[in-house]
């Protein structure tokens, strides 16, 4: 019997390096506004208990149990080397689908606050700036200019590279197996 896997990029969202007109979920990190293509977003949840997992990269806050599914949570502040800040009542987790070598993986992204869903027109989007050869900005789709404000539009598939996604996915698989074993021991 063959195993069926989700093929990469089945959501219909483009993976090109340029931002396209459409709906973006915007959120705040520090004093900056960011946006993610809405079709990549599965859901937004309030901050919940996050279980730390040893030997993960510094930006991996841990894992959550979302209706029986273990989801890794990355702290975008830490991933982007921003100052660490205490979580607030507005802090939340955006669960997104990212492409991996084996299909699509759900990852939670911890942000300071969700702002709104914006319909951004093509004429409101500029290409990602180039900061020179030493700075990687592949994860920036473009810059949205809306109502005299700037929104940095992220390519969520490139915020983490394939090896980082694979590492996180492996850790989550191991953590899931550990949780299942613990549940079986408790019920025995």
Question: pLDDT tens digits for the chain (188 residues)?
Answer: 333 333 333 333 333 457 789 999 999 999 899 999 999 999 999 999 999 988 888 899 999 999 988 899 999 999 998 998 899 999 999 999 988 777 888 999 999 999 999 999 999 999 887 765 555 678 899 999 998 899 999 999 888 876 677 777 776 677 666 655 665 666 65
The distance from CA 58 to its chain's CA centroid, rounded to whole angstroms, is 15
**How many angstroms separate the CA atoms of 2 and 134, rounded?**
45
pLDDT score, position 103: 80
Taking Cα atoms as reference points, which of 185, 176, 115, 103 lies closest to residue 150? 115
pLDDT score, position 131: 65
Give the architecture-level CATH label for domain 16-187: Beta Barrel (2.40)
**The residue count for the chain:** 188
**How many angstroms separate the CA atoms of 150 and 85, rounded?**
22
pLDDT score, position 14: 37
Are 103 and 5 in contact by the 8 Å Cβ rule? The answer is yes
């Amino acid at each position: 019997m063959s195993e069926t896997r989700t093929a990469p990029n089945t959501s219909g969202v483009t993976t090109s390096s340029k931002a396209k007109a459409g709906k973006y979920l915007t959120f705040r990190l520090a004093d900056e506004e960011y946006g993610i293509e809405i079709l990549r977003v599965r859901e937004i949840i309030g901050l919940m208990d996050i279980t730390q997992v040893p030997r993960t990269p510094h930006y991996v806050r841990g894992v959550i149990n979302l209706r029986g599914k273990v989801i890794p949570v990355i702290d975008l502040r830490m991933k982007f080397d921003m100052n660490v800040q205490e979580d607030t009542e507005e802090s939340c987790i955006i669960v997104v689908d990212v492409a991996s070598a084996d299909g699509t993986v759900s990852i939670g992204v911890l942000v300071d606050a969700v702002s709104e869903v914006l319909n951004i027109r093509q004429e409101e989007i500029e290409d990602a700036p180039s900061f020179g050869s030493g700075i990687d900005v592949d994860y920036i789709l473009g810059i949205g200019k809306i109502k005299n404000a700037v929104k940095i539009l992220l390519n969520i598939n490139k915020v983490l590279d394939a090896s980082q996604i694979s590492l996180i996915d492996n850790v989550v698989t191991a953590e899931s197996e550990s949780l299942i074993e613990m549940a079986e021991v408790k019920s025995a």
